[in-house]
Amino acid sequence: RPQRPPCPQNAKYGTCSLRKMSAMEALDLLDQVVDESDPDVDFPNSYHAYQTAEGIRRAHPDKDWFHLVGLLHDLGKVLALFGEPQ
């Protein structure tokens, strides 16, 4: 199998040393991001995360791991606050 070249993002973020924060702190930071794919939304990005998690909870009450995934699914967008493109 051919070896893949090293990923520059892994080198930059792989150590998780840029900034440490809890998931709740990241959800709060998410509200500072203006999503380029949907800039006209009038509610905070964290609201979407909670809506998603709640919708999944209603549809799949027995899958608590899935509720968590719904809550966290957009957290990567906070990298835009650190200069990464959306």
DSSP 33-49: ---TTSTT--S-HHHHH
Q: Is 60 annotated as a binding residue?
A: no
Alpha carbon distance, N-terminus to C-terminus of the chain: 31
What is the Cα–Cα distance from 65 to 7, expressed in whole angstroms?
Answer: 29
Q: Is 67 annotated as a binding residue?
A: no
Binding-site residues from annotation for Fe cation: 48, 73-74
Binding-site residues from annotation: 48, 73-74
